[in-house]
Structure 1
Amino acid sequence: MLKNIIYIALVLFTIKAYSQDQQAKDSLINKSEENSIQLKGQVVSNFNKTPLKGAHLFNLNSVIGAVTDDDGKFAITTKPNDTLYISYLGFQSIKLKITNDLLKGNELVIELHEKAEQFNEVVVKSHKLVGVLEIDAKNVPKDKYARIHINGISQTYESGSSSSKTYNSAVDKMFQPINMMYDKFGKNPKQLRKIKKLRDDDALRQMMEDKFNRELMMEYLNVDAVELNDLLNECNYSDYFIKQASDLQLLEAVLLCYENYKAIKKGSTVRDNNSKN
């Protein structure tokens, strides 16, 4: 009888503790929402002050996105201390720290500067196709990972197996890009949730599909361009795919690589599961 009373008391205590914890979380969420404000403004060119239609704005903290309309105007939910990332094709991207002064009701005008880019000479070679798959497959260009790509076709097709990088010592392996990403997400799961939201939210997916500058990915992954390239190479993605894929495709590639690596680290892979069936 005494055991039953103690058991019931423990259950009630657990339920009460969970309820209090949930109420605290809900209170924090509601407080955060109360502090959120619709920031309105316009994105224009610094050179001639013309509105920039289709400029992208991301709230890096809440992972919310917005796109400017025909007049370059936008409205995005934000709060003090959030950081907005603003980008437009051919212009220098900027990060804007939100302060209380910016949220006092006046519409914000954001000016972007054009990029000064140098284009290297590109040599395009033609590849004649005869319509016979066995012959054409030998004539189309291949990259070092044997992934076939044909001009005008966005999809990349596998024609062989990728070769993974080898490490000469345990120290080298410890500092491989994929292992560093695994450790980084393990220590900061909140950042991983933000990246997954970029992939799963329909509006954000559309925005990432139209981007090719990798800047937002590097911001969330906290890597530079070289480190991002090394990471994707480590995951056995070809140079052609890395250069041609949209930011959304690269984001999905990184997350898939992470999930596969996590499964291997935990000793659970697709191959192992299939072998048990």
Structure 2
Amino acid sequence: MGRVLLIFFCLISFRCLAQNEDDPTVDGELNATVINAQTSFPMESVHVVNLNQVVGTITNQKGEFTIPAAVNDTLYLSFLGFKSQKVRVTNDMFKFEGTEISLTELAYALEEVIVRPYQLTGYLEIDVKNLPINNNAYQYSISGLQKSYEGGSKSPSAVTKVLGAILNPADLLRNLFGKKPKQMRKLRQIKEDEDIRNLLASKFDRETLTELLQLEKVDIEDILNNCSYSKSFIATANDLQILDAISSCYEEYKVLNRR
């Protein structure tokens, strides 16, 4: 009887060991390399964002990057002049070394963004202050709130729109924020990751924002419109400014909703 039990436990131990050897690491840090699909050369300074864990990084001179990840996470890679790409993390990426992700160069030329007239320095905190201010918009501060509302054009309707947003949050904002609690909870995580902030500060197309928040562009515009940001701001702000505007609006909405 004792010999039978010993053999039984040995078989169980062997089976568990075999399973452990077959199962690769399913989370931790993922190492990979980004290359140009046309030339196979490594690509430096590619932005890589884990959309699930809301962390970002950039590739080094060899095109290599390391990022916290788990199986089935989605990585979002972007680089100016190349088609952005989403990649699902698989077991094989952890099990085998030398994972390569290729980006394809866009077939058309991107329009040049002129930044010289604003004398940007490259330092985010300074450049944000130097960006042009919309002189056709009023700012309406609300007692008890730290931020102000941008009312849009100088017209009585601007005041009415702001008061409507303040007095009727259920009508204007609850349908936008209330139906997307998971997306809104990501706002703080996004704002705390320096690599993601730097990426958003360089982009104006809302593409990365829509992927991070899982919102459509029209949803972003609806949120900002109902928070009384001007059309000029919505059209010209970079993605980081849009993120901060949505976050500010959401925080004020939560305060008003509690009341």
Normalized against structure 2, the TM-score is what? Answer: 0.65
Task: Summarize the alignment of residues 17-96 of structure 1 with structure 2, pairs less than 5 Å apart.
Answer: 35-96=26-87
Residue 252 of structure 1 is matched in structure 2 by 244
Residue 39 of structure 1 and its aligned partner are, at CA, apart by 1.8
Residue 238 of structure 1 and its aligned partner are, at CA, apart by 2.3
Residues 1:180 and 2:175 aligned together: yes
Structure 1 residues 204 and 71, CA gap change in structure 2 (3 angstroms):
same
Structure 1 residues 184 and 109, CA gap change in structure 2 (3 angstroms):
same
User: What is the percent sequence identity of the aligned residues?
Assistant: 34
- Counterparts of 1:156 and 1:244 in 2: how far apart (Å)? 11
Per-residue CA shift, 1:68-108, capped at 9, x if unaligned?
11222211121211111111112211111111112113222
Structure 1 residues 90 and 239, CA gap change in structure 2 (3 angstroms):
farther
Higher relative contact order (CA 8 A, sep 6+): 2
- Counterparts of 2:178 and 2:51 in 1: how far apart (Å)? 21
- Secondary structure of residue in 1 paired with 2:43: coil
Residue 252 of structure 1 and its aligned partner are, at CA, apart by 0.8
Number of matched residues? 196
C-alpha RMSD of the superposition: 3.1
- Counterparts of 2:192 and 2:255 in 1: how far apart (Å)? 21
Structure 1 residues 119 and 93, CA gap change in structure 2 (3 angstroms):
closer
Letter paired with 2:138: G
Per-residue CA shift, 1:249-274, capped at 9, x if unaligned?
1111001011112222222xxxxxxx
Residue 35 of structure 1 and its aligned partner are, at CA, apart by 4.3
Per-residue CA shift, 1:146-196, capped at 9, x if unaligned?
xxxxxx9514255525122899xxxxx84x5x332321244x3xx433221
Letter paired with 1:41: A
Normalized against structure 1, the TM-score is what? Answer: 0.61
Residue 154 of structure 1 is matched in structure 2 by 131
Give unpaired runs (5+ residues) of structure 1: 1-33, 123-151, 168-172, 268-277
Aligned equivalent of 2:101, options 107, 110, 115? 110
Per-residue CA shift, 1:48-71, capped at 9, x if unaligned?
223322111111111121101122
Does structure 1 retain, via aligned residues, the 8 Å contact 2:186–2:213? no
- Counterparts of 1:242 and 1:101 in 2: how far apart (Å)? 42
Give unpaired runs (5+ residues) of structure 2: 1-24, 114-128, 140-150, 152-157, 165-169
Per-residue CA shift, 1:82-137, capped at 9, x if unaligned?
111111112211111111112113222111122345778x9xxxxxxxxxxxxxxx
